[in-house]
Amino acid sequence: MNPIPILFTDAEALVIDKPPGLPVDRPKDGTMALADLADTLRFGFARPPGIVHRLDRDTSGCLLLARNPGAHRRFSASFQAGEVAKTYLAVLDGVPAGEAGRIELALAKTSTAAGGWRIVPDPAGKPARTGWRLIAVRAGRALVEFRPETGRTHQLRVHAAHGLGVPIAGDPTYGRGGPQMLLHAARLVVPRRTKPAIDVSAPLPPRFGAFADG
């Protein structure tokens, strides 16, 4: 595969622009995953970088890796404490009502023998909050900015489909599916105690079509 774009690197952190279709962890189907490529991201360091957080297989964009165990612990704690600012861009399969807002919709995991597992809205589930803003509308689809305040599995995908009533384009689980899911981790800001914050952005990929062209 093509080399993975590097967005940021220093002695304790590495941020890559994860391509769509690349799983972070090794899937059961044997597909090559980021975990299999970690050794190629050493760039002279003694150990491969450790993956700090996760993006869905079909989500592209900013992904943080840690150069050493101490940095991994600090970064992980920042994610768990909600100190990391994440911005996503998504194309929706339609246009939501309004121009901005905040989605508060608790989520839970459910599974069936026939359909496997998925995430569903559930008042008894884990709290999940997402800020959103409409950026542009073209050909009956909307480009939306999402700012998740929590980090639940499939949070943005379920909040789009059930909170806004318009699923992310190409979502095979919560929408109509399609060639590719149009969800992108566009910016990541990670605070650090003794160094300037890591603040990186990943450009919209070509699969976003006219939205990527500005």
pLDDT of residue 214: 61
Neighbours of 206 (CB within 10 A): 8
pLDDT of residue 2: 61
Q: How do strand 183-190 and strand 198-201 relate by DSSP bridges?
A: antiparallel
CB contact at 8 A, 12 and 60: no
pLDDT digits (tens, 9 = 90+) for 157-207: 999 999 999 999 999 999 999 899 999 999 999 999 889 999 999 999 999
pLDDT of residue 112: 83
- What's at 79, amino acid-wise? F
- What's at 57, amino acid-wise? R
Q: What is the pTM of this model?
A: 0.94
Where are the strands (E) in 73-159, listed by range? Answer: 85-92, 100-104, 107-112, 116-121, 129-138, 141-148
* Ranges of the chain whose pLDDT falls below 50: none
3-class secondary structure, 94? coil
Q: What 8-state DSSP symbol labels residue 99? A: S
Q: Which residues are catalytic?
A: 56
Cα–Cα distance, 126 to 112 (Å, whole number): 20
pLDDT of residue 203: 96
Cα–Cα distance, 137 to 140 (Å, whole number): 7
Mean pLDDT rounded to a whole number for the chain = 94
